[in-house]
Structure 1
């Protein structure tokens, strides 16, 4: 959805005044056309990049001009506006600048932006600016503050709740993930006396009883600016919380693109048993990380009481888990226990409480045939050296037999979904560098449309035969741990140095983000360290509007039930941050696949210039290619073909609308139509902003 602006792409304007409305327009109706596109003027800093990333995620088109590029286009009247069929056209509905004025003193570019914003009532976002009178605020030295705001708990004001940040509860907590890393810097100040300034988000000014603005609206000289006085990057929680409101403010809640906050959790290996980590051998007997014959397998398997707990937990959280099942686990258990399997009986009795996904019958590895005589394993080969692949018939049998077992057990299945064991069949580096060529054929034989993949290996969707992948986030709650102490012991082994008894992976790969300075206490390390880290990671995906599901294993719902502290932490934190009209969306696998595919198609149409969208008065018109679903967000009360548009979410209406290639006309409520276009008289041009402080660490996500 980003369009980098080059001079050759400019369309010459035909404005009589420098930027004002043309005299003697051909149409009697001179109501301007406002194109639904944002102009992002960047200086390469993290704050404008963060806003651009938010637009990308939502599917909101924007054009970026990078001030650091020598051959960038000049921002002038012709770049900003022209006429179409005699009607004045504003090419952008909003302007994002790195500060309130990033240009040199007396810049004609800033003058052109000022005139444009006044003429067409186009708002400006100051992505990160110094607190100063030109932005409606007193200098920090006048009773304000300039410095770190790590760990500060900012608040949404009453005006913020009544305005663009109404989807948030009271607090906006700023991250403080490490005592040695500066993560946030801000200028806290109060409005200049007499300024028309409304604070939306504020924080206490240290050493005083006053509160200073972090985000506020400054109205002056016929213009509107959203003044942001703290630095951020796209990954930080404080920005993720405020990003939706920033976009809603600058677009007036009328824009292409739509976003939700998603959280879905797949539980793999249901009915099967997961081998347990051995704290003496530092491997998992029975699995490929242990040499053949090392140790004795010690399986972890849920009990009927764990099923009851899971069902009750779901009901209390209004949340549904997706159970990826292996039917052979129950068959084998009955064979070994005189025909009894209380776990399967309980799950089947409670089957309608959960969603179910085919995880293959025996959880077999469906890629190359594995040679486990060495650690790590390798692909077995034929006499000629070629890879020995699991056969097409074997793959079909794993899928079809599990499907039949599930249907006979009455599980409410969607037969076009599949999770292979360990995401096998697809390439697994370094051992297996390509998909099993028999996988695509077997997926076609069994009518699989949606195939789970590992997001840590392949974060993008791709085609595998007739199937589209659905990347899943692995949670760092291990499949071979049913107890917290086991989880910590394995975590220590993986993430500490060899001198501390660890694997040394961090010495071999310093980029590993979860390395430990010293081993965790096995009694407290899970609750005190691993759980908060996993909550922060998963919540980051939720707040980023990423629909990709997370996955854990049935072992994590057994014994100590170690998954629940993480799941509860994500849901509890979310509920404390967002209002009830902005719920976590909890889709099943195929719906996630559809969402990701629609986003990709929409992004391609935007990037190819196949989408046109604009507003004239109380009507928004969108043109898109036939078959492409249009994503849009509109105020409550908007209609399409006489019916309410979209679905309610976060105080607005948004969603996907199929396009037939004909224009879509959306009718806006009267509350969304401005009373009049501001006047076109001269406006004061602000002086360039002083350089703002940007901690080096703020450019990257912190995992400390």
Structure 2
């Protein structure tokens, strides 16, 4: 069907005048001010929401306009630009649209946007658009493709590697988490003959030897567009891999906020032993909820060989594990074995190879006094009905005794870090809805500033007295498993129905996403299902600018060492995807806590409108409240008062710099001058973009299933 293209045409002079930009070439003293803020225009689709989520997670200010909302802000010249102190101001450094033109035919809003982009050299991202000549591409019916890319692999082109996607090695795999659900849709085609179009990411056109563009830059009419022709949501790996490049392209590598790929792994209960899951009793003897009279604890404990393996593994991966330790494990071992504990000797000899965290002396429960006469346990009460709490002195002794022992054997500790046993002391629903009131004073007694918490219970960082929590992701590699078969047996118990011999937890909680349609094989289920699933989940966290650490237990490094296949999957998978300029950032707990705390303060200030930032030529000015740490991503060579700003990552520099309440001036290198485009004689808009296909799996996050 032939479509009639309607355009809105105004003279360049009229458009420039309406936007406040003087005609003629701008010299340094008349260069416009461009505010460091992104305009996101959404139609409610997942792709613009994904870009907004990326900006929000990084701390990059943006303004969102929802085209589906009545009474929304009208986009016109006054909304986009004005004059400040006699200098023309562009209020947005980039524009994100749902497609190349989401407005009705003859729209004054699209005309205003086109004129604004042309006048101020502001780039536009077409978050998900149909491949058509108006976007620089041939229609897919002319030798292209329209359809699913589930499980396919796209590739970054040479231009993409030299440009905004240089942090990637080259491959961009598309998820296929559930074969029964469509998770992707794309339009693959090649550029229109004669168009100034540069593909950055391509995929093979099915049935052909040629490739079609998925992401590319289209230059036309004095404007620049990043044309994206596949749909995505914020959780999908293909978007997570490309999100950084999309943001860097639209901002020219100059923006507030920062994004890195983090991974840290805490290994709990080091020196101690963890009780083993009993496949016959379907519980863990030694655990308070395993009351069977035949329950006999069967401890799992690392050996010196396991320590040597951990050291060699770290060296091979250029990665450091964090060991959360309980000294009583070795104290009791020596008492029972005439002073001998070969495991502790090896760990102490290799202490410099790991980071160490105080995990309390005996790993005792530090919340309410537990009444274990019932299952599940409940908090014991006093005669007046009030809760019985573990005392401040007992909590303090657990912290200090473990620290003193660790210092005595030379562990390189940070005394302000603590992980309590089972994250106890903090609220645990449903039994203990409040923190132990004695916890915060005991933390203060010992100078604890950073307290590990369970991200599955409390994903938001919070204060516990003078300490601040560091939420940790629990990995589904169980504390009571040293062998794959017992891990699978417990996994089956938790995640299958009662009719299949399971606990029925999943059928009682339909929101659980890891439920199984059938039990896993105890022979192959760990390698075939649990390892790839846990790898995918953890790698998703790594790719989401999320510094929260993951935690496992020392039992998982013992016996069959079942944690390593998951950790290998994360780190090896990451290495296959990213260039050496973009390494995994492996922080210790207090540094993770600091990062999270700074982000929270920054995002609060951004949301409160306390941050203003703009660029004039190669000078960036940021105004922020005194004492606030300011975050930005800028080109290599940027300075503040003659001192280099930030640290290198992904081909740029990023980091934090303190505000004193006066304007912060950052000087960009001369090579970072804003891209210049030859002005067009007209500001032209195209016909409205055709509707695109959005499968259900792109609208919502599709979790991996037992079938994949």
Q: TM-score, normalised by structure 2?
A: 0.96
Q: Distance in 1 between matches of 2:501 and 2:544?
A: 37
Q: Distance in 2 between matches of 1:365 and 1:408?
A: 25
Whether the 8 Å CA contact 1:452–1:469 is kept in 2: the answer is yes
Once the two structures are TM-superposed, the CA of residue 485 in structure 1 deviates from its matched residue by 0.3
Structure 1 SS opposite 2:225: strand
Tell me if 1:398 matches 2:398: yes
Tell me if 1:255 matches 2:259: no
Tell me if 1:287 matches 2:287: yes
Structure 2 SS opposite 1:502: coil
Once the two structures are TM-superposed, the CA of residue 676 in structure 1 deviates from its matched residue by 4.4
Aligned position for 1:168 = 168
Once the two structures are TM-superposed, the CA of residue 15 in structure 1 deviates from its matched residue by 9.4
Structure 2 SS opposite 1:280: coil
TM-aligned CA distance change 1:415 to 1:335, over 3 Å: same
Aligned position for 2:545 = 545
Deviations, residues 410-468 of structure 1 (Å, cap 9, x unaligned): 11110000000000000000110100000011111111000000000000110001100
TM-aligned CA distance change 1:406 to 1:204, over 3 Å: same
Aligned position for 1:655 = 655
Structure 2 SS opposite 1:444: helix
Q: Distance in 1 between matches of 2:80 and 2:665?
A: 25
Q: Distance in 2 between matches of 1:300 and 1:187?
A: 53
Aligned position for 1:4 = none
Aligned position for 1:353 = 353
Aligned position for 2:4 = none
Once the two structures are TM-superposed, the CA of residue 199 in structure 1 deviates from its matched residue by 0.1
Q: Distance in 1 between matches of 2:411 and 2:428?
A: 31
Structure 2 SS opposite 1:39: strand
Once the two structures are TM-superposed, the CA of residue 289 in structure 1 deviates from its matched residue by 2.6
Matches within 5 A, 1:460-471: 460-471=460-471
Q: Distance in 2 between matches of 1:449 and 1:614?
A: 36
Structure 1 SS opposite 2:575: helix
Deviates more, 1:31-40 or 1:337-346: 337-346
Q: Distance in 2 between matches of 1:94 and 1:430?
A: 47
Structure 2 SS opposite 1:564: helix
Whether the 8 Å CA contact 1:20–1:119 is kept in 2: the answer is no
Aligned position for 2:446 = 446
Q: Distance in 2 between matches of 1:277 and 1:27?
A: 73
Once the two structures are TM-superposed, the CA of residue 338 in structure 1 deviates from its matched residue by 1.5
Aligned position for 2:144 = 144
Measured on the aligned residues, the alpha-carbon RMSD in Å equals: 1.5
Deviates more, 1:217-226 or 1:630-639: 630-639
Whether the 8 Å CA contact 1:26–1:85 is kept in 2: the answer is no
Aligned position for 1:457 = 457
Whether the 8 Å CA contact 2:121–2:676 is kept in 1: the answer is no
Aligned position for 2:49 = 49
Once the two structures are TM-superposed, the CA of residue 677 in structure 1 deviates from its matched residue by 6.0
Q: Distance in 1 between matches of 2:24 and 2:140?
A: 49
Matches within 5 A, 1:19-30: 19-22=19-22, 29-30=29-30
Tell me if 1:425 matches 2:425: yes
Structure 1 SS opposite 2:30: coil
Matches within 5 A, 1:58-457: 58-291=58-291, 293-457=293-457
Q: Distance in 2 between matches of 1:35 and 1:472?
A: 36
Aligned position for 1:612 = 612
Work out the number of aligned pairs and report it.
691
Higher relative contact order (CA 8 A, sep 6+): 2
Q: Distance in 1 between matches of 2:413 and 2:130?
A: 56
Aligned position for 1:672 = 672
Deviations, residues 383-415 of structure 1 (Å, cap 9, x unaligned): 111111111111011101111111111111100
Once the two structures are TM-superposed, the CA of residue 295 in structure 1 deviates from its matched residue by 1.1
Q: TM-score, normalised by structure 1?
A: 0.97
Q: Distance in 2 between matches of 1:230 and 1:109?
A: 25
Whether the 8 Å CA contact 2:182–2:697 is kept in 1: the answer is yes
Whether the 8 Å CA contact 2:645–2:654 is kept in 1: the answer is yes
TM-aligned CA distance change 1:680 to 1:17, over 3 Å: farther
Deviates more, 1:283-292 or 1:228-237: 283-292
Aligned position for 1:7 = none
Q: Distance in 2 between matches of 1:339 and 1:165?
A: 57
In structure 2, runs of 5+ residues without a counterpart are 1-13
Whether the 8 Å CA contact 1:120–1:678 is kept in 2: the answer is no
Aligned position for 1:9 = none
Once the two structures are TM-superposed, the CA of residue 337 in structure 1 deviates from its matched residue by 1.3
Q: Distance in 2 between matches of 1:675 and 1:628?
A: 31
TM-aligned CA distance change 1:524 to 1:675, over 3 Å: closer
Structure 2 SS opposite 1:29: helix
Q: Distance in 2 between matches of 1:187 and 1:15?
A: 33
Structure 1 SS opposite 2:111: helix
